[in-house]
Amino acid sequence: MVQTLIRQSVAQLPDNAIEAVGLRKVYRSKRGEKVALDGVTLSIPRGSFFGLLGPNGAGKSTFINILAGLVTKTGGEARIWGHDIGRAPRAAKAAIGVVPQELNLDPFFTPRELLEVQAGMYGVPKDQRRTMEILEAVGLSDKADAYARALSGGMRRRLLVAKAMVHTPPVLVLDEPTAGVDIELRQSLWAYVKTLNAAGTTIVLTTHYLEEAEELCDRIAIINHGTLVACDTTSALLGRLDSKAVILTLDRIPDPLPAALAALSPELRRDGRMIVRYKPSEMPVAGILDAVRAAGVTLVDLSTEETDLEDIFLQLTSSKAR
Q: Checking DSSP bridges between strand 219-224 and strand 202-206, what pairing results, if any? A: unpaired
| Closest to 206 in 3D by CA, of 65, 93, 8, 73 | 65
DSSP 8-state assignment for residue 126: G
d(CA 96, CA 123): 14
Tens of pLDDT, residues 4-63: 444 444 456 889 999 999 999 999 988 889 999 999 999 999 999 999 998 888 899 999
Residue type, 138: V
d(CA 276, CA 274): 7
Architecture per CATH, domain 244-306, reads as 2-Layer Sandwich (3.30)
User: May I ask the CATH class of domain 2-238?
Assistant: alpha beta
**24, 75 contact by CB (below 8 A):** yes
**Residues 6 or more apart whose Cβ sits within 8 Å of residue 270:** none
Residue type, 130: R
d(CA 163, CA 165): 5
Q: What is the pTM of this model?
A: 0.75
Tens of pLDDT, residues 203-249: 999 988 888 888 999 999 999 999 999 999 998 887 776 677 888 88
- CA distances 22 to 63, 77, 79, 224, 228, Å, are 12, 7, 12, 15, 11
Domains of the chain, residue spans: 2-238, 244-306
